[in-house]
Amino acid sequence: MIKPHGSEQLNALYVDDEGQRQALLSEAEQLPSLLLSSAAAANAVMLGAGYFNPLTGYMNLNDAFSVAETLHTVEGLFWPVPILNLTDQTGIEAGSRIALRDPNVEGNPIIAVMDVDAVESVSEAQLDMMAEKIFRTLDPEHPGVATFKSQGRTVISGPIQVLSFSYFQSQFPETFRTAVQIRNDIAAAGWEKVVAFQTRNPMHRAHEELCRMAMEDLNADGILIHMLLGKLKPGDIPADVRDASIRKMVDVYFPPNTVMITGYGFDMLYAGPREAVLHAVFRQNCGCTHLIVGRDHAGVGDYYGGFDAQTIFDEEVPDDALDLEIYRADHTAYSKKLNRVVMMRDAPDHSKDDFVLLSGTAVREMLGKGIKPPMEFSRPEVAQILMDYYQANA
């Protein structure tokens, strides 16, 4: 199986041993507490689950600057996005041991214990520098920029021991999986070549066929459909609805034992190209050999070019940085000539009128009115689940 990023073995920071975990929880109740931001809590979940291997905790300011500027830590580890614990809370001191509390669960239970290496102030100009590099914009309307700049001006860094996976395990017991679990499942299935498909949306016909194309083109053993389960921007479809629609699509339209449906506990960054590279890092940690990167991967609005998330792998990612490879997807659409979904680059004899093209806005309007999108766009079983959701929330 493909090696994890940056190490021979996966270094998940979740404390598996029940006795040790209970002892740490008891200790943590006596420690000073820090209520995390949702973004920092999601980072803790990803560290605990092994997705952010080989990191051992939150980055300090020098590493954060270095990653933002060069895609490497000060010591030279390739990494695309700073993994930070930003806060406005005062009273935390370097050298202390603290309990980290979960903002997303009632009662703010302890999610991790942290040994504080450094407590550093970050200026507005420094936040702007990092945001500009990560998101390629400082527009306050960009949801990622808005979140990044609202968390606080103090960086608290150091190693952590993770004691909980927040709400993800309880709310999505059939879907949430750690990188450790996914690697074990891939090994048990005997898969060697595995293609990951990232999604924060329901999967329509184009997405379904894209998975099928990648699997066939690469002669892969299986597809990992890996959905984001954390916080999204307003208007995005909730995780439970996406989960139900994806499971229905796979049950009806894919052969048995060719797809793993899984999810991970992270808040969407909407960082476009940089987030695509982060997706590649943690899919390698899952044991995947390939990641599908399509049009406007991890993008939002019109902040990124259609294929910037592909070209970053050519222009900024060193050849030896990752073992995982990307599968480059073009615009996909339903061909009236061929009666199937195709990548538009593979149909040079087609005109625009030969394709069925629907915008996401048009489809959402149809669903909200109780009109099923055409079968060329969405499987009827999937459309029904989405239509029920939109009508219930109209």
Active site residue 200: yes
Whether the bond into 348 is cis, omega within 30 of 0:
no
- Do residues 73 and 81 make contact, with C-beta atoms less than 8 angstroms apart? no
The two three-digit tokens of residue 352, written as one number: 């625009």
Tokens of 138: 């400082």
Residues 248, 179, 27, 86, Cα dihedral to 10°? -90
Active-site entry in 101, 136, 183, 200: 200
Burial of 364 (0-12, 13-18, 19+ CB in 10 A): middle
Q: Any idea which residue has 């030279």 for tokens?
A: 76
The closest alpha carbon to 239, from 144, 329, 166, belongs to 166
* Rounded Cα distance, 224 and 260, in Å: 5
Contact between 243 and 172 (Cβ < 8 Å): yes
Residue tagged active-site, from 11, 62, 108, 201: 201
Comparing C-alpha atoms, which of 22, 98, 46 is closest to residue 55?
46
d(CA 196, CA 297): 13
Task: Give the distance from CA 368 to its chain's centroid.
Answer: 27
Give every strand in the sheet of 332-335, ordered side by side: 340-343, 332-335, 355-356
Query: Annotated active-site positions, please?
Result: 200-201
